[in-house]
Structure 1
Amino acid sequence: MITVFPEGAMQLAKKTTLKMADIVTESIQTSQSYLHSRDSEDYDVVMQLEEMVNKLDTEITSYLLKIMKQSGNSADVAETYTKTLEIVKNYERMSDLSTNLVELYNMTVEGRETFSEEAMEDIDTMYKLLLDMLHRSMKIYQNEDSAGYELLLQDEEYMDLIEDKYREKHFRRLADGICDTKFASSVFVDVLSTLERIADHGVNVARNVNSAVKMHSSGH
């Protein structure tokens, strides 16, 4: 397929990348489950999903390279190759960050500590926005349609705002002696920044699509 029909091979690579995106979403959802359940099974699932993502990352990257080599100097194939590779790397990074989240939560589990009720609500609010953003970002990639891109950028700004707001609330809780845990209070800020970084990678996926759509619509 690669030699005869490189465009079709690229579509296959895209289909596999979308499968990777689904696995990453499941990983992030499971990290949130672990936050609440504190069940080692959820922790293990995130680690298993990370292995699956790494395997797909290697396979897709290798496949894309073969397509690129076989296509000669096709500008269209080169553009799609670069875009798809960037998207794959963003999803791979999201999966890494999801494992970071469960490792942070695991510190509180092993320390026999819990986040305060307010802290849990703030984390859950960020998760809700994050998962919604990732769903819309994946749809932009799937449909090659950047219509929802501007709204996604607005949500990225809102995510930055609530991260700052929740960080300030946390420092106030520390000052008021409400958060006096050793591990939970120290990792909370890391949790917020990790969720915000995952959102950034989600927006990067849509940004790659938006750039490609703009190039084609301007006649390049």
Structure 2
Amino acid sequence: MRIDDVVWDMDGTLVDSTRVVPDAFVRAVATLNGPVITSAEVVAAYPRGTPEVILSFLVGRELSPDEHDVYYRQLDGVAVSAYPGVLATLAALREKGRPVAVFTGASTRSARILLAAAGIDADVVIGGDQVSRPKPAPDGMLLAARRLGTRPDRLALVGDSPLDLRAARSAGSVSVSAAWGHLYDPAEPADVTLSTPGEALALVGSVVGDR
């Protein structure tokens, strides 16, 4: 099937948030008088869903909206960078007349904070708070297809995590592994594996597999 558009995961794919996001959670949990936690424990909790769900889990109790704001205050203003080649690749997509679309398990609020900090202007941002089920469920890709005016099987999802690739497969989209990301697992099946962001440009308009 011909690929119309590329959808990007954020953390570990567009933005190198390997340290800043776990560190923000660690500080937020400490501020909320939760247990002492490590960055590795934060990363292990990512599949649970949005920052609100993760923070409540890490603290060990239900939190109020004001308490959830503690995490966003820790995240706001962090120094974070796009991976090498990302900004040029997104600019080239726009020159082709294609939108920049992001689907992340993080909340829309945290996505906008991190994308702005990294200098990324996205046309479509789908956060984990906009879908009923998190990755690897297909919900986010189905929503992306509706917003982009195409079908899920004509989208490619570029992500570093096995959850990204499974979400793509569950939606019938093309799964594209970002080998530069910190959660990249070469053992996880992918339709395509990219070594650099710029290689994603060749996906638009291409035909991948018999879909």
Measured against the shorter chain, the TM-score band is under 0.3
Q: Which structure has more helix as a fraction of its residues?
A: 1
Query: TM-score normalised to the size of structure 2?
Result: 0.25
Query: TM-score normalised to the size of structure 1?
Result: 0.25
Greater gyration radius? 1
